[in-house]
Structure 1
Amino acid sequence: MTDNIPQSIAASDLPQPGQPLAGGIFVTRYWLNGQERALVLLPASAEIEGEWGEYGQDVIGARSYSDGEANTRAMAEAGSHIAVKAIEGAGFIPSSLEGQLVMAAKHAGLVADLRQDRWYWLSSQSSANLAYYLDFSDGGQSTSVKLLEARVRPVRRKFL
């Protein structure tokens, strides 16, 4: 990420989940690729809307179910407008796992501004034609064709 927000934070400096952190709301701590991270949900004003990407284009680097940042970078390199916008906003599109972590925070009452009348793209690709999305009304995850318009709620991470 090319932002002015420090990429790491001491675990002792983390607020309670649901409290402000790094321009968003602290969701939870989690481990990915041997590194502990803090997941931050960016505000509703950072939401993006658009197609996931090109129908029929296999974005090989966007197959991770856990690493949304790597998926988003691969999507951007493949020409995804929503991925480019997420990166420009110093965030990334959550993976399937990271989306479920946000859903768990919503269920616990820690985040309240997620729309329940629309579904949100995740960065995890299912196939050359399909990508995952999350419905914040019930936490359901499924796939849809990449050329459909949906919302994206970017997140960012902080290394601990």
Structure 2
Amino acid sequence: MTKQAQQTVLAAELPERGQPLAGGVFGTRYWLNGVERALILLPDELSGPWGEYGVEIKGAGSYSDGEANTRAMAEAGSVIAVKALELDGFIPSCLEGQLLMAAKAEGLVVLNEERWHHLSTQRSAYSAYDMDFGDGWRSDSVKYDERLARPVRSLPIQ
């Protein structure tokens, strides 16, 4: 029997930022599509290419909704996207990556600074965004580049 991930969190039960929540570390509160959410950094670190070079994936271009991007990536065959979803998580979008960097700068989360990380936001058929968590630089690289991906989870706050 598999354990199902927590689906929501009550505002009164939110821990302090930087504390454990839903199998990870609570990074911050943010708004997405009119819903206040808790962004949780999962402990897993994945590695692989973003996806297939030269193929534009419909639904993977959101700057804010990493879960929607990751689902579109997985449907198109992205191995790291499938792995992230199997963890009941997703690859962060550009916005969610910036929120993680802000939490890191405040000493609330720990991120690997040695390699660039994929973000789930696609830039074109040939490239997708990535981030250096050492200094917060965001760039883009070709989709077949081997990069890390640090899954997150986002829970609606009730």
The TM-score by the shorter chain falls in which range?
over 0.9
User: Runs of 4 or more off by more than 4 Å in structure 1?
Assistant: none
Question: Is there any run of 5+ residues in structure 1 with no aligned partner, and where?
Answer: none
CA distance in 2, matches of 1:119, 1:6: 29
Query: Residue 83 of structure 2: which of 82, 85, 103 is its match?
Result: 85
CA distance in 2, matches of 1:24, 1:94: 14
CA distance in 2, matches of 1:6, 1:146: 31
Where does residue 121 of structure 2 map in the other structure? 124
CA distance in 1, matches of 2:81, 2:39: 18
Residue 70 of structure 1: SS of its match in structure 2? helix
What is the TM-score normalised by the length of structure 1?
Answer: 0.95
Residue 73 of structure 1: SS of its match in structure 2? helix
State the one-letter code of the partner of 1:119.
Answer: W
Question: Is there any run of 5+ residues in structure 2 with no aligned partner, and where?
Answer: none
CA contact (8 A) 1:94 1:122 kept: yes
Question: Root-mean-square deviation (CA), in Å?
Answer: 1.0
Where does residue 60 of structure 1 map in the other structure? 58
Tell me the alpha carbon deviations over residues 48-79 of structure 1, each in whole angstroms, 9 at most, x when there is no partner: 10000000010110000000000000000000
How far 1:6 sits from its partner (Å)? 2.2
CA contact (8 A) 1:3 1:90 kept: no
What is the TM-score normalised by the length of structure 2?
Answer: 0.97
CA distance in 1, matches of 2:54, 2:24: 34
Tell me the alpha carbon deviations over residues 3-28 of structure 1, each in whole angstroms, 9 at most, x when there is no partner: 61221111110000000000000000
2:138 matches 1:138? no
Where does residue 26 of structure 2 map in the other structure? 26
What is the total number of aligned residue pairs between the two structures?
156
Tell me the alpha carbon deviations over residues 121-160 of structure 1, each in whole angstroms, 9 at most, x when there is no partner: 0000000000000101100000000001000000001111
CA distance in 2, matches of 1:111, 1:19: 9
CA distance in 2, matches of 1:133, 1:105: 17
State the one-letter code of the partner of 1:34.
Answer: G
CA distance in 2, matches of 1:30, 1:110: 16
How far 1:102 sits from its partner (Å)? 0.3
Distance 1:103 1:3, change over 3 A: farther
State the one-letter code of the partner of 1:40.
Answer: I
Over the matched positions of the two proteins, sequence identity in percent amounts to: 63
State the one-letter code of the partner of 1:10.
Answer: L
Tell me the alpha carbon deviations over residues 96-133 of structure 1, each in whole angstroms, 9 at most, x when there is no partner: 00000000000000012x11110100000000000000
